[in-house]
Structure 1
Amino acid sequence: MNKKFSVVIAGGGSTFTPGIVRMLLENLDRFPLRTLKLYDNDEERQGILGEALAILMKEQAPEIDFSYTTDPEEAFTDVDFCMAHIRVGKYAMREQDEKIPLNHGVIGQETCGPGGIAYGLRSIGGMIELIDYMEKYSPECWMLNYSNPAAIVAEACRVLRPDSKVLNICDMPVGTLRRMSQIVGKTPDELEVRYFGLNHFGWWTSIKDKEGHEYLDQIREYVAENGYLTTVEVETQHTDPSWQQTHKKAKDLLAVNPRYLPNTYLKYYLYPDDEVSHSDCSYTRANEVMNGREKEVFDAARTITEKGTAAGDEFHIDSHASFIVDLARAIAFNTHERMLMIVENNGAIANFPDDAMVEVPCIVGNDGPEPLAQGKIPDFEKTLMYQQVMVEKMVVEAYVEGSYQKLWQALTLSKTIPSAGVAKNLLDDLIEANKDFWPELN
């Protein structure tokens, strides 16, 4: 393994960037780097993290050329991989995504329902811009995209940049698999899963170890009593109070459909009224993040800069994000890694539209992901998925056509919204809040 790679992290001012950098440093034996760059269009925000990370890199990996910039040509020239995790509108707009729907009696969530649609419409332009920069300055580069809302972003990439080297992936199944591994006393690397669905909308149908032992029934029995709550916490991202409630809710999701193990995000579609009743319009998940991770990360960066050293490192490592290195390695070294990816269906789910962006296990090599066949799926899951995938398709169509009508229809079709009237009132408020980000709708 003599080759070293050049990586740009798009979204350099993200609260996740320090954890990703630390994760990359922890995996240099598996994925060697020669260059690491940060790119963001917010110079001030990225500068706070960039200055601290420059100190960290100088102390821990001085052989790696590290820089941060707001110039796309500088950022994207001579790079092998772009790791993209952008948030257009930042947490201020996430707060609006959550609070505006709640004011209409509808769930407020950053990737699901009207909040996810609002965020998706903001994200499309930013993602296409990044893809175009990448293809202009480093045509052979691969983009590893884990920007939310991944379902809408993936559909937009399929429609607007169908030939681009963009891989869409989500960390949520990785986090849940960690919990499953605790339940059965294994490590995540020892387990192999079968799964079908859309992003943040799917089911595990098998969890086996390398010897072929099936743990589905054992985990299902545990989840029926405890949800995905476990006694040992091994990650930082999904342990806040709101996430603990989400993990617990899995037992109610399983009760509705005990055949398979549910993705926790299904609670927003199967129990939207329950979610609204337990939500606080004045303090949502966005506030929790701004007062928690946002403050902690930027305070840690300022502390490192003030001290002039990262000794006693204030940044937490995102250990679950090692899946990003696994994906990069699969492309770089043709490892044929088995991973859950968001890909065009093309028969992977036999009785589902070929042009749907689905989330299924794939074998990943240097040509990209090859989906594994999941066969036919039952009517209950298929019908729920079809309704949701049509919401995502209509959102992208509304963006491309600048169509108010199609966006109203998309909101009306969502299981999270009770009526066309509520959808229209919500849409009008979201248009006003997003006037600096959305295309003009007619």
Structure 2
Amino acid sequence: MKKHSIVIAGGGSTFTPGIVLMLLENLDRLPIRQIKFYDNDKERQDIVADACEIIMKEKAPEIQFLKTTDPKEAFTDVDFVMAHIRVGKYKMREMDEKIPLKYDVVGQETCGPGGISYGMRSIGGVIELVDYMEKYSPDAWMLNYSNPAAIVAEATRKLRPQAKILNICDMPIAIENLMVKILGLKSRKDLTVRYYGLNHFGWWTSIMDKEGHDLMPKLKAHVKDNGYAVDFDESGQHVDESWKHTFEKVKDVYALDPDTLPNTYLKYYMYPQDEVAKANPEYTRANEVMDGREKHVFGECKKITANQSTEGSTLEIDEHASYIVDLARAIAYNTGERMLLIVENKGAIANFDDTAMVEIPCIVGANGPEPITQGEIPRFQKGLMEQQVAVEKLVVEAWEERSRQKLWQALTLSRTVPNGRVAKELMEELIEANNMFWPELN
């Protein structure tokens, strides 16, 4: 089996150590000859990279390791670019969440005005990575899980239509892991799912086991009363109080369409006032992350570097990120893995915009994804998705055309924003907050 060369773009991310541990755990499935870290923030990357270098020396000393802030060095001789960048870091995420809340509007990193703000920062960053990859390793594939995935996917479709980039999201995987617990099964690999929507905006329409038994009735019975809430173990990414509330709130979203099972993020669009009412405008999810995961991961990394050993380290394998290995394997070995990806619709949802970037099951092989046809979708979902896809397209047009008008339209069209006046006031404040990161709008 060929050994692969991987660059992790966003080397200073709090998720990077968990992904490295996951890659090392799966070397039998995806052999690796070198891992490179690339980030434009040297100081932050050094903290993570120095610890990861020690982890690799202990677990897989044969893998070459390099950390760099030089694009040529990072992107030359790579098979896969694994990208999870956060332009503006958590400080700007905090602004994305807190500014909307001043206007009694949902403050969330990928939904509503916060997602639009983050999207306007992310587009340029992801396009830059695509261009580096195409320049230095034109045969490589980018596996992009940078948020907000819906806006980023639309931007790459429109601005870099030939790019070998696959946009993926881990939220359906996290939810399927909860479904597996509800059902008492061992692994989400035991499920065959049908699902359609946009990123963070979708519905499961069928869930079967490998023998073809319908698992939806049992799941629906649980979700009707409990949402996706189960008895949580205290480790892992999605267990803060805010997540527990999110999993419980699903029962209210489910009630709107009991024929399907919803993505958790739909609560922000269906019940925005409820989300604002329970939010603390002084202490949002960004603060939870900075005080929780960020402190923990950076603290552990510094400890490993100081001790020159991982002994006693509490850094954890990012288990649910193993889908990244599934995706890389599917491309490298033409496995025909069935996966949820964000792809151009092109008729997969028959009664929906062909150019929309939809999240649906695909069969993935050496040539990339082949979407599985979903047929026609009901009016309720279609209407919601048309409104949301228009928001995402307007954001990308606003970025490309440097258009303040289109950004105002995008914000006004979002289900989370009550009217055009609030949209305009919000926009002006977001423009000011993002003056280092957004293009100048006319």
* 1:57 equivalent in alignment to 2:59: no
Contact 1:196/1:360 (<8 A) preserved: yes
Aligned twin of 1:324: 324
Give the % identical residues: 66
Cα distance between partner residues in 2 of 1:207 and 1:231: 22
1:221 positional shift? 0.8
Cα distance between partner residues in 2 of 1:80 and 1:291: 35
* 1:76 equivalent in alignment to 2:67: no
Aligned twin of 1:381: 381
Q: Is the partner of 1:214 in helix, strand or coil?
A: coil
Q: Provide Cα deviations, 1:40-71, integer angstroms capped at 9, x if missing partner.
A: 00000000111111111111110000111101
Q: Is the partner of 1:233 in helix, strand or coil?
A: coil
Aligned twin of 1:424: 424
Q: What are the within-5 Å matches in structure 2 for residues 372-411 of structure 1?
A: 372-411=372-411
TM-score by length of 1: 0.99
Taking only aligned residues, the RMSD between alpha carbons, in angstroms, comes to 0.8
Aligned twin of 2:231: 231
Q: Which amino acid aligns with 1:140?
A: D
- The more displaced of 314-323 and 235-244 is 235-244
Aligned twin of 2:346: 346
Aligned twin of 2:260: 260
Q: Provide Cα deviations, 1:96-124, integer angstroms capped at 9, x if missing partner.
A: 00000000110000000000000000000
Aligned twin of 2:434: 434
Cα distance between partner residues in 1 of 2:248 and 2:80: 37
Aligned twin of 2:336: 336
Contact 1:336/1:364 (<8 A) preserved: yes
Q: Is the partner of 2:107 in helix, strand or coil?
A: coil
Q: Which amino acid aligns with 1:60?
A: K
Aligned twin of 2:276: 276
Aligned twin of 1:291: 291
Aligned twin of 2:9: 10
Q: Is the partner of 2:229 in helix, strand or coil?
A: coil
Q: Which amino acid aligns with 1:135?
A: E
Aligned twin of 1:108: 107
Aligned twin of 2:300: 300
1:23 positional shift? 0.2
Q: Provide Cα deviations, 1:276-327, integer angstroms capped at 9, x if missing partner.
A: 0000000000000000000000000010011111123331110000000000
Aligned twin of 1:125: 124
Contact 1:6/1:34 (<8 A) preserved: yes
1:217 positional shift? 1.3
Q: Provide Cα deviations, 1:156-198, integer angstroms capped at 9, x if missing partner.
A: 0000000000000000000000010111111211111000000
Cα distance between partner residues in 1 of 2:68 and 2:59: 21
Q: Is the partner of 1:86 in helix, strand or coil?
A: coil
Cα distance between partner residues in 2 of 1:58 and 1:221: 48
1:235 positional shift? 6.0
Figure out how many residues of one structure are paired with residues of the other and give that number.
Answer: 441
Q: Is the partner of 2:294 in helix, strand or coil?
A: helix
Aligned twin of 2:33: 34
Cα distance between partner residues in 1 of 2:439 and 2:20: 34
Cα distance between partner residues in 2 of 1:51 and 1:20: 15
Aligned twin of 1:163: 162
Cα distance between partner residues in 2 of 1:62 and 1:351: 52
1:258 positional shift? 1.1
Aligned twin of 1:315: 315
Q: Is the partner of 2:340 in helix, strand or coil?
A: strand
Cα distance between partner residues in 1 of 2:163 and 2:311: 41
Q: What are the within-5 Å matches in structure 2 for residues 158-237 of structure 1?
A: 158-186=157-185, 187-233=187-233, 236-237=236-237
Q: Is the partner of 2:219 in helix, strand or coil?
A: helix
Contact 1:55/1:308 (<8 A) preserved: yes
- The more displaced of 55-64 and 327-336 is 55-64
1:232 positional shift? 4.4
4+ long deviations beyond 2 Å: 232-235, 311-314
Contact 1:97/1:115 (<8 A) preserved: yes
Cα distance between partner residues in 1 of 2:151 and 2:272: 20
Cα distance between partner residues in 2 of 1:233 and 1:122: 35
- The more displaced of 307-316 and 165-174 is 307-316
Q: Is the partner of 2:162 in helix, strand or coil?
A: coil
Q: Is the partner of 2:259 in helix, strand or coil?
A: coil
Contact 1:235/1:319 (<8 A) preserved: no
Q: Which amino acid aligns with 1:98?
A: E
Q: Provide Cα deviations, 1:215-273, integer angstroms capped at 9, x if missing partner.
A: 11110110011110112438611111101100000001011121100000000000000
Cα distance between partner residues in 1 of 2:133 and 2:312: 36
Q: Which amino acid aligns with 1:178?
A: N
